[in-house]
Structure 1
Amino acid sequence: MRKKLITFTGGAALLLMHAWSQAATDLPPSAKVDMGPVEEVCSEFTDPEWRKEQVIDGVTIQESKLCNPDNPADIAAFVKGTNGVSMETLMSTQLAADAITMSDDFDGDGDPDKIIIKLEVVELNGHSPDIKEPTTTFDIAPGIQPTFWVFAPKTRDMSTKSLYELEANPLLRAPSPVIRVEQDDVVWLVLENTHYLPHSIHQNLCHQAAPTRHHVLPLPCATAYPYPNGLARYFRR
């Protein structure tokens, strides 16, 4: 009986101690803390106007919530051709004046049916004698930057986003931008070498004649072509 009484008394004391300890450790009342101004999540190098719905040279562009949306001027030039937009719109892009030209409404539907797209080959994650790090960088995964060559629209200005960033501008990427055209359109792909040094590339194409400055090639077949400085090849699809 005495043992049970001691056990009961000790248990009651422990229960009371638990309640007293809870009362002694009550948290102070919450206080309102000034969080300060909200910082922008997206990079300041991207114009926030690009994310808004807008109409440029008759082309309606939807709103985009992305931090790095496509340049609306690029979209207008891709839809109407660099020869179909205003000079102000063209100068808001990094496209060459003859990057995409559209003409000749063959079927009478009001849209041009002859499209000439000029491409060039660009090196991503390449190396320069001036700096140790790769330049014109493009990550295929976080921190993974292999050197490779891609097709890109004929461009002008810097290949990087800015003077202070070594990241490739949005037109230079992998996979290369998709080319979408209407059925029965006549599409010419002009591949130009605008570099000072010659280089060779492999394509799914064939040719039977020696290279010339402007050489029309049929499709398809696999081979490799030398591209001296200033050479342009035309491919019809």
Structure 2
Amino acid sequence: MLELNSVEVLYDDVILVLRGLSLEVPEGHIVALLGSNGAGKTTTLKAISGLLKVEDGEVTDGSIRFDGHEIHGLPADRIVRRGIFQVVEGRHVFEHLTVHENLLAGAHTRRDRGGVPADLERVYGYFPRLAERKRQWAGYLSGGEQQMLALGRALMARPRLMLLDEPSLGLAPILVQEIFGIIRRINEEEGTTILLVEQNARLALSVADFGYVMESGRVVLEGPAEELGKNEDVREFYLGLSEIGRRSYRDVKHYRRRKRWLS
């Protein structure tokens, strides 16, 4: 469904963030994009969704194809209309609109207005807590509820591909499990394809079918999620495990990537 081929991204005409990035997202699958801070994961999502321009970023080389058609250079609203919706890091709900109004905003680009009421009920079915608070201002929701609202707003656009950026950020563990359970349901029940950026590598690999590991703006490792979860490098650097068991964050932070990653 989605194919990035040798993509380079430059910020402010100076900073090269993506350095020949290539990856594929098959239709109907969940693909995880892993990597440390600064690896270029969020930039990858913004290159796909057309949001680079608001940060003075630009795709300077390579191609981004969706359903066989080049989408690089299209404005963000046209990319949404083609079926791609990004849930940005930090949720960014419309705080002074109600939950219900936020969800309606997600359907703004749709032409089939007659289907909106049914989709609202479908979203409330996924997120009963939002149904209970539909008349409440979004700014008064908890962090977990705002993340649910951000996902529900994305569903209202009827996306074929959802780009999720750090959906677990700042949430309590019990809420993280709930959110990721819903992400899996959305994929299975709606058939929605998902490209997931997530710092919690263990959790991301538990719901994904395939994964890519990024370092310094390029892919250094890829494979089925189950195999990546067993990979020694991934286990030690991203899951904090080694042959002698759990390691501290301090140890993991100073882990030296294997030479083949940097060759």
Which TM class, normalised by the smaller chain length?
under 0.3
Alignment TM-score, normalising by the size of structure 2: 0.23
Higher relative contact order at CA 8 Å, sep ≥6: structure 1 or structure 2? 2
The alignment's TM-score, normalised by the length of structure 1, stands at 0.24
Between Structure 1 and Structure 2, the one with more helix by share is 2
Kindly name which structure, 1 or 2, has the bigger radius of gyration based on alpha carbons: 1
